[in-house]
Structure 1
Amino acid sequence: MTKLEPGSPEWTRTITASKIPGILGISRWTSQYALWHQMAGNVVEHVSEAKQENYDYGHAVELAAAEFWKYRNPGWRVSRGEVQFTRDELPFPNAATIDRRGSRGRARRIVEVKTARSLEEWGDDGSGNAPADYVAQVIWQQFITGWHVPADIVLWPQYGMPRIYTIEYDSRIADVVVEKAHAWHRSLVDGIEPDLDDTVATYETVKQLHPDIDGSTVEIDADLALQYLGWNQELKQATKTMTGLKSRLLDAMGDAQYATCNGEKIADRRPTRGDSVALYANTKLDLATLKGVQAA
């Protein structure tokens, strides 16, 4: 088949590995609602300069990551670039583009490359396992290629050494993914969009779907009106409260990188552009742990 290029009309309508997390509803970057309208052609994903720089950086990193993977897997070779596959017997347009094809004799395996600033940004919760959205992508790739041997994801962080995550093929998960993908395609054909949700991706998509202002008035129900105005007021107060708490925490940390309570990490300071720093909360910490300490 002719290689699909990201952004082309053919690519937009095709179920690819990168779209699988969105279809399953486990993506950290998009929503089912946003993805559906992109694939339906109702909105166009805007690629900013910053996002394009990230894409370019990722492609450059693939060169170094491929060499790193070969050092860790003696006797294996890797393709010079991306390789794309499809399964014509599936009842919907599909494709899987893998970053590198590992080969040794007749053996083949998938080698994917991902970038992140750190393990935390990547999504490693300390278990040493790859994030679920990336695992789903790779299992889709294993299914489409037919290479059911373990696949590798090379994580290339901006801070720290590269790490390799091995993904085992799971036929039960693959069957569910294919079933969901087929149902997704049918929803596109039938014009049945997913429900709205509370993600930023859905909010931005709704704005893109209705860019015009025609001067008319629409009557909404009281429940929506009360919730919108009530939460808007709560948000303003919460924002002020959070700003004050961040100031207190930064002041308490001084030049420290991490803030802990009873040995549990609460937040960390990270450098940003210029001479500034940013404060990141440990959102994975179970608050019940701290409340137990406070009660004691």
Structure 2
Amino acid sequence: MTFIAPGSPEWLQLITPSKVPAILGVSRFKSQYTLWHEMAGIVDPAPISEQQQDDYDYGHAAEVAAAEYWKWKNPGWRLSRGEVQLRNAGLPFPHVATIDRRGSRGRSRRVVEVKTARDLYEYGDDGSGEVPVDYAVQVATQQLITGWHDDADLVVWPQYGKPRIYKVEFDAQVAATIVARCEQWLASLAAGTPPELDDSITCYETVRAMHPDIDDIDVEIDRDLAVDFLALDAERKEIEKAARGAKTKILDAMGRAKTATVDGLKVADRRPGKHSIALYPNHKNFDQIKDTAA
């Protein structure tokens, strides 16, 4: 099979594991609306910035280190030297899966996927929490396409802290849902029926990209939409101001500390930023902190 480069025009027309989280509406990085318009050829994918390319380069380098780490943790298993690309003739839609590494032992095969992260807080407060749903869906799609139903390994390589290997079990019901949703997705492309607008950044950027020109005309819009827009924009400015004030107070209370807690529950943590210290809130504990205050 000829290797199809991710990001190429041919690749853009195919269902791939990295696109399925957006198709299912669970991606943190791309909306359904954006992916649909990219695959329909209405908008071009956003160009890769210099920072993004540097992140990709770091990710490829991390794959090499993660592969060595995985081999130490899985004695008796072999690992492919590089990416492996596969198709599944039994699936009813055009697709391709690019796997970071293929683990093998005898007749057993296993998906080994590598992700980089700033730290393991994205995966649980102590690094042992659940895999983010979009990554889990991507790996599940890899298992579906490859037919490798052994537990997949997701190796998370953080910039801060030690790497960790997470198991992703194959779930036949999840696989069936992915197949059904992908068929519906391609049917919507054929029918020219895009998904609904949403409130994601990528959806906003896509709508902007679809209408780059400005005509000297007026357009009458719905009154309720106008009221919502103006009221929410005014409210946003007040919320941003109040949030900045609360953030300042927490930073002041923390001093040189790394983590702020309430009754042992993490509220936020300080991390090195590009130019100075940055404060990251931990929303997972909000309900518990709020309930104990009551």
Range class of TM-score, shorter chain: over 0.9
CA distance in 1, matches of 2:93, 2:199: 29
Deviations 1:241-295 (A, max 9, x none): 1111111111111111111122221111111124x101111111233x3333333
In the alignment, is residue 67 of structure 1 matched against residue 68 of structure 2? yes
Q: C-alpha distance in 1, partners of 2:289/2:17?
A: 39
1:28 paired with 2:31, answer no
Report the equivalent of 1:293. 292
Greater shift, 209-218 or 84-93, is seen at 84-93
Partner of 2:147: 146
Match of 1:13 in 2: 13
**Residue aligning to 1:250:** 251
Deviation track 1:49-75 (CA, whole Å, cap 9, x = no partner) reads 111111111111111111111101111
Secondary structure in 1 matching 2:278: strand
1:14-53 deviation per Cα after TM superposition (whole angstroms, max 9, x unaligned): 0000001001111111111111111111122221111111
CA distance in 2, matches of 1:115, 1:292: 34
Aligned residue runs from structure 1 range 139-178, under 5 A: 139-178=140-179
Confirm whether residue 118 of structure 1 aligns to residue 123 of structure 2: no
Q: For residues 291 and 202 of structure 1, do their structure 2 counterparts lie closer, same or farther at Cα, with a shift above 3 Å needed?
A: same
TM-superposed deviation, 1:4: 1.2
Which runs of 4 or more aligned residues in structure 1 lie more than 4 Å from their structure 2 counterparts after TM superposition?
none
Unaligned segments of structure 2, at least 5 residues: none
Structure 1 contact 12–41 (Cα < 8 Å) conserved: no
2:18 aligned counterpart, secondary structure: helix
Aligned residue number for residue 201 of structure 1: 202
Structure 1 CA distance for aligned equivalents of residues 10 and 225 of structure 2:
39
Aligned residues: 292
Aligned to 1:240: 241
**Could you tell which deviates more after superposition, 123-132 or 25-34?**
123-132
2:93 paired residue number: 92
What's the TM-score, normalizing by structure 2? 0.95
Provide closer, same or farther for how the CA distance between residues 292 and 171 of structure 1 changes in structure 2, counting only shifts above 3 A.
closer
**Could you tell me which amino acid in structure 1 is paired with residue 164 of structure 2?**
R
Letter of the aligned partner of 1:13 in structure 2?
Q
Provide the aligned C-alpha RMSD in A.
1.4
Alpha-carbon distance between aligned partners in 2 of 1:104 and 1:91, rounded to the nearest angstrom: 30
Q: How many angstroms does 1:204 deviate by?
A: 0.8
> Which residue in the other structure is 1:50 paired with?
51
Q: Which amino acid aligns with 1:261?
A: V
Mapped to 2, the partners of 1:129 and 1:246 lie a distance apart of 28
How far apart are the structure 2 equivalents of 1:272 and 1:75?
41
Contact 1:124–1:131 under 8 Å retained in 2: no
Q: Distance in 2 between matches of 1:4 and 1:225?
A: 45
Q: Against the structure 1 CA distance between its residues 76 and 16, is the aligned structure 2 distance closer, same or farther, given a 3 Å change threshold?
A: same
Q: 1-side partners of 2:125 and 2:259: how far apart?
A: 17
Q: Distance in 2 between matches of 1:2 and 1:151?
A: 25
Structure 1 residue identity aligned to 2:247: K
The one-character-per-residue Cα deviations of 1:143-188 (angstroms, maximum 9, x if unpaired) are 1111111111111011111100111111111011111011111111
In the other structure, the counterpart of 2:231 is 230
Q: Give the % identical residues.
A: 57
Could you tell me how far 1:125 is from its partner in structure 2? 5.8
In 2, distance between residues paired with 1:194 and 1:225?
22
- Tell me which residue corresponds to 1:211: 212
Q: Which amino acid aligns with 1:270?
A: R
Report the secondary structure of 1:18's partner residue: coil
Query: TM-score if structure 1 supplies the norm length?
Result: 0.95
**Distance in 2 of aligned mates of 1:147 and 1:90:** 14
Instruction: State the SS of the aligned residue for 2:19.
Output: helix
